[in-house]
Amino acid sequence: MINEKYNIEIKLRIQDIEKDVWNNLSKKLDNPFYEWEWLLNLEISKSVSQKTGWQPLYFLLYLDKELYGIAPLFLKNHSYGEFIFDQSFARLAQDLNLAYYPKLIGMSPYSPIEGYQFIYKENSNKQEITEILLNYIEVFAEKNNILSCNFLYIDKEWEKLLNKYNYHKWINIRSQWESIGEENFEEFLNRFNSNQRKNIRKERKSINNQKIKIKTFTEKNINEDLMNIMHFFYEQHCLRWGVWGSKYLTDDFFKNSLKTKENLIIFSAFEETSTQPIAMSMCVKNKENLWGRYWGSLKEINYLHFELCYYQPIEWAIKNKIKYFDPGAGGQHKRRRGFYAIETNSLHKWFNNNMENIIVQWLNKVNIETLNSIQDENNSIPFKK
């Protein structure tokens, strides 16, 4: 028992939690990366497991056998697939003779998608549930010699619930396009100064001049063959980076994604005389958001990456009244294509005073620098003055 009302148990697989119960609690999140089906696919495809360094730990809080809250966490023995780079923390832990791994991570694996939070029963006391789950997680961590608990890409509103629990904010940068009510791509181009409008038109025209056709696949025409090809492109892209390639997802993940294909959209490029694609990008969507996730190509073709990963998704988003488009991690070059630098926050706690004190001093400085960088990057966007 946690207190007079609640008790908590831990599940090591999401399939041990009833699908309807999970999705009923999480439906208000409206986030495909935290739906039961998405997380199940990561597990059954063996993309997420103890072997890959992502051991699921679902903390479930019950009141009278009814589920009131879920804290989706993962026990990790490395820092890959997070896209928030804490290797300097690991080196500090080594200097202090502390074991940095394993660590507790809250996020959707391999997906730097803002919106992480605990999942709550509708109309429940979120503050009370949050406090009970946090206390339990921290006791669990200290009992098992886990040095830190880290919530990444957190929901802005959920962050407010954690203000009084001594978690420390680390500010990072992500990219985001936002609709301002344009009706077509040309109207979007009108945001830019004349030079950049010419540059983007030139980039897009180059694709046409090379006689490359673009085709968009949505739910009704996404099939297993297409997902196999998408996996091939994803794999090829990862291999190009050699030892730095981040090949996290298995072929089974892409095949199983057919079960959630209502959330998918794929942009494909074809040479004029061929029915076989030479490049693909895959996005995930809901009613208001589009997220760029995976990409790959057979050939190095100038501007094709921009076309499939930026311009085609923006054009589709405008046509389908999508409000936001997150093109994926990294890249100041996105500013020149109309993506703002956006603050994205993570919250951290270290269960060692020396470690925590040193990092907090660093965070106080680096967060200010990051906010200044966001302002500078956004000032560099070649929009009309």
Q: How many CB atoms lie within 10 A of CB 93?
A: 22
Mean pLDDT of the chain: 95
Confidence of residue 241 (pLDDT cuts 50, 70, 90): low
pLDDT per position as a tens digit, 343-378: 999 999 999 999 999 999 999 999 999 999 999 999
Nearest to 48 by CA among 37, 61, 35, 39: 39
pLDDT per position as a tens digit, 19-36: 999 999 999 999 999 999
Of 169-178, 198-207, 272-281, the least confident = 272-281
What is the model's pLDDT at position 4?
65
Residue 325 has pLDDT above 90, yes or no: yes
Mean pLDDT on 308-324: 98
pLDDT per position as a tens digit, 29-84: 999 999 999 999 999 999 999 999 999 999 999 998 899 999 999 999 999 999 99
What is the model's pLDDT at position 242?
59
Q: What is d(CA 310, CA 327) in angstroms, rounded to the nearest whole number?
A: 7
Residue 1 has pLDDT above 50, yes or no: no
* % of the chain residues with pLDDT over 70: 98
Residue 239 has pLDDT above 90, yes or no: no
Nearest to 149 by CA among 166, 135, 136, 137: 137
Domains 6-172+342-379 and 180-322 share a fold: yes
Residue 221 has pLDDT above 90, yes or no: yes
Q: What is d(CA 105, CA 79) in angstroms, rounded to the nearest whole number?
A: 10
What is the model's pLDDT at position 247?
84
Distances (CA, A) of 375 to 18, 170, 325, 368: 45, 17, 20, 11
Mean pLDDT on 234-255: 82
Domain 6-172+342-379 has CATH 3.40.630.30: yes
pLDDT per position as a tens digit, 123-159: 999 999 999 999 999 999 999 999 999 999 999 999 9
* % of the chain residues with pLDDT over 90: 91
What is the model's pLDDT at position 332?
80
Q: Which residues pair with 76 in a beta bridge?
A: 54, 103
Per-domain boundaries in the chain? 6-172+342-379, 180-322
CATH number at 180-322: 3.40.630.30
